[in-house]
Amino acid sequence: MRNLALSVLFLLFFSVQLFSQQRTTTWEKVYELGGGAFFSVKTDFEGNYLVAGRSDTFDYSGTVVARSMTMKVDPSGSIIWATNFNEGFFSQANSLTLADNAGNCVISGYSYFGGDYGGMFMMKYDASSQMAWAQNYGYPNQEMCGGSIATTTDGGFIVAGNKDSILYVMKTGPSADSLWMRTFPDIKPLTGGFGGVGLCFMGNIRQTTDNGYIICFSSLPLPEMCVMKLNSQGNMLWKKTYNTGAYSMGNYIVETADGNYVACGIQAVTVGAGDQDAKVVKIDPQGNIIWEKEYDKFGFFDGFNAVVMDGNGDFIAAGNTQNDYTGNINFAYVVKFNNLGDTLWTTTDGEGTIFTQECIYGLDLATDGGTILCGSRGSKLFMARIDANGQGFVGINNIHHEQPNDFTISVTDREIAIDVDPSIINPSDNIRINILDMIGRSCNTTWTEHNGKIIVNINNLNQGIYLVEIQNKNIRKTVKFVKQ
């Protein structure tokens, strides 16, 4: 049975509806939720942004606890809701996809249990943060990570990741029930990376217009940027690598309007010197190179982690750039280029700053043609919104910090104690507490208020894994726990 953290930090946010009539507002924010990073972001049907990643906080003993974090913000970047969970030693969400046009989303990620053991998870949240279902794969029999997820035309999902160090692809139905899984014993993807935590697959998968799948990742041993095409049943049609130097890396791929593909990543340009450029390759449906280009801002280290195609058939890629060899100064780096790879504009954040660590891991188009970005800034959760011309970064010293309020809970075999700050929310003020089993059924429990705490009686629950949910008109938070 899995050991879950007994003390869990919940983050409380009041819903602030600030939907501006002018959707061209640009902004840049650090979210004070502890440390961590956002790795994936999507724009929903209302123009809000759903983002997923990892939040690092400290438990009562001072130990860092990493939690999977999913958050929804409005067009101005104000938090609508945020929810997290952890199991084992740490959990993180690596990828997020919109499940439909109703604001539901599904995340995939990884939970680490110590040694060589970890499991892949998938979770679905509705538009108000209610968890619809959760599925786990791998642990304790295998090491398995959910690295990238995409929605498929049949309402299900396709997931790519690493399983016992080799590449796997899994197709699921709408409730994450596995329909088939393909493993590739001779293909070992590069793992690790995201925020420097875990052994997670770093790459991207998506369904193609022919109902097959395309994957971009870094293949070992070098590594090298690798693109692999699968048919609708997950069988490999072709696999090709793209490398012009000591090594290269593949991070993301999109299908283009002309039926080809654009992949982005990193290219080492000097053997042994450590210089690397951001890399983009355009390939045809058989993987043959149409063009291949490198992008370099300051002449040191550059890389792209994600790319998106806009409505005009142009592309926006984002990652980070450095302006010296020390690695102490990393800026957000965003480039827009046309269908031939020619640069239309370039923007960076924080030039002239003495020390900063900033990187973009995910991006998506905003409803007005601007771009929403997510990543990390100084080991904290970071988002920015720039306009269609690449304008909007405010600089390191002018960034806005979102300050959340918080409350904590602790879990024993008999009860759950929720400690709420009365200046934020009155425990008797229309709070709803719900316990769910792992297939979503509500369990009959009662709760009382005692010495400023909410006490939930779970003595009647059978042994197993459950979710506890706390909700009022402003927030909904969910965490998984084990009843021994």
Q: Tens digits of per-residue pLDDT, 84-109?
A: 887 777 889 999 999 999 999 999 99
CATH number for the domain spanning 473: value is: 2.60.40.10
Q: 344, 372, 402 — which closes off a domain?
A: 402
Phi, psi (rounded to 5 degrees) for 194:
-55, 105
Tell the burial category of 240 from Cβ atoms under 10 Å away from its Cβ (0-12, 13-18, 19+): middle
Q: Model pTM?
A: 0.79
Q: Which among 385, 375, 381, 240 has a CA at the least distance from the CA of 321?
A: 375
**Least reliable range by pLDDT among 268-282, 329-343, 460-474:** 460-474
* Same domain assignment for residues 355 and 302: yes
* Same domain assignment for residues 296 and 353: yes
* Same domain assignment for residues 204 and 335: yes
Q: Tens digits of per-residue pLDDT, 233-269?
A: 999 999 999 999 989 999 999 999 999 999 999 999 8
Phi, psi (rounded to 5 degrees) for 398:
-115, 10
Q: Which among 425, 427, 409 has a CA at the least distance from the CA of 417?
A: 409
Q: 402, 423, 438 — which closes off a domain?
A: 402
* Same domain assignment for residues 246 and 395: yes
**Confidence band for 217, pLDDT divided at 50, 70 and 90:** very high
pLDDT top residue among 16 and 431: 431
The residue segments making up the domain with residue 154 are: 27-50+113-118+138-402
* Same domain assignment for residues 251 and 162: yes
Q: Tens digits of per-residue pLDDT, 395-450?
A: 755 666 565 544 566 667 688 877 665 544 555 556 777 787 755 677 877 888 77
90 located within any domain: no
CA angle 119, 68, 107 (to 5 degrees): 75
pLDDT for res 475: 54
* Same domain assignment for residues 459 and 315: no
**Least reliable range by pLDDT among 5-9, 71-75, 344-348, 356-360:** 5-9
Q: 371, 402, 433 — which closes off a domain?
A: 402
Residues 6+ apart with CB under 8 A from 398: 28
* Same domain assignment for residues 146 and 218: yes
Is the CB of residue 346 less than 8 Å from the CB of residue 366?
Answer: no
* Same domain assignment for residues 361 and 455: no
Q: Which among 44, 178, 19, 168 has a CA at the least distance from the CA of 103?
A: 44
Location of structure tokens 């190179």: 289
pLDDT for 23 beyond 60? no
* Same domain assignment for residues 398 and 440: no
For the chain, what percentages of helix, strand and coil (3-state, to nearest 5) are there? 0, 55, 40
pLDDT for res 305: 97
Q: Tens digits of per-residue pLDDT, 452-483?
A: 677 888 888 887 777 777 765 555 566 666 67
H or E, element range at 151: strand 144-151
Is the CB of residue 436 less than 8 Å from the CB of residue 442?
Answer: yes
Total of domains in the chain = 2
CATH number for the domain spanning 150: value is: 2.120.10.30
* Same domain assignment for residues 320 and 418: no
Per-chain mean pLDDT for the chain: 83
Rg (CA), the chain: 22
357 located within any domain: yes
205 located within any domain: yes
